Chains A and B, each alone.
Chain A
């Protein structure tokens, strides 16, 4: 990914996922980080995205009970075989 010399916030917000996945090339990564030093809005945006990711990690669903008991049966068959 190649970027213009000067980054506007509108562009920075679109790069957050690439940044977090370490998919920006080194020059762009540096430009992105430089922008954050001087821009509280974008620094907050990045922090909010990080918090969003953490919270999504806590939003996990549970295994359907019927499937869980099938799998436990399979486990017990395996253990006693």
Chain B
């Protein structure tokens, strides 16, 4: 088996899974389960159908684990199995939000944070953001701060929420997200950028 390219953590999970270790399987579910469920949900209309896709995909993972050679990361391999399983289940249902059309909404930072064109430094910060370097780590990673992030993500328009969740919460890369959502690279980036900007603004309001 060629596994020197896998992270040590992934290599341990793979070895554990091959040995039939339930703890390794649980760890894998905890780490990748929610993200893969969200990926499945991109392809089917109901939550129940997405859960069926995920179950079928995990069975495929278990059957295929002996053949996994570590040429991609474990996460990318899992992602592909879920996407392929979802695709063979049938056509993608019509989505309520057209991910492919991204309208121009102007800037992601309120214009009153910058000097106007008529002023001395047009387009430069009039109310610059402060540094968070002084925010104590305990505060930055506190449950309340994470709750602010979750709430801000929850309030985003669907396309932005989906993209930031897959990219930043679940950690899929840009190519994977474009592939799962049928998005161009540019539109993926625009949606991600708007989403991050809004979450940042919510954090700024909370942290100062």
Contact = CB atoms under 8 A, between A and B. Distances in A.
Contacts of A72: 22, 25-26, 29
Contact of A44 (B114, B131, B169): B131
B86 interface: no
Contact of A75 (B22, B37, B132, B193): B22
Contacts of B63: 78
A67 interface: yes
Given A17-B196, A63-B34, 12 more contacts: A8-B114, A10-B111, A10-B123, A40-B128, A41-B125, A53-B196, A57-B168, A63-B30, A71-B33, A72-B26, A75-B25, A78-B63
B81 interface: no
B49 interface: no
A78 B59 contact: yes
Interface string A40-81: 111011011101110111111111100110111011101100
Interface of A, secondary structure class, is helix
Interface in B114-140: 114, 122-125, 128-133, 140
B59 A41 contact: no
Interface size band for A:
35 or more
B169 A57 contact: yes
Contact of A11 (B54, B123, B130, B171): B123
B55 A71 contact: yes
Contact of B203 (A16, A48, A70, A74): A48
Given A48-B200, A55-B140, A71-B54, A63 B150 contact: no
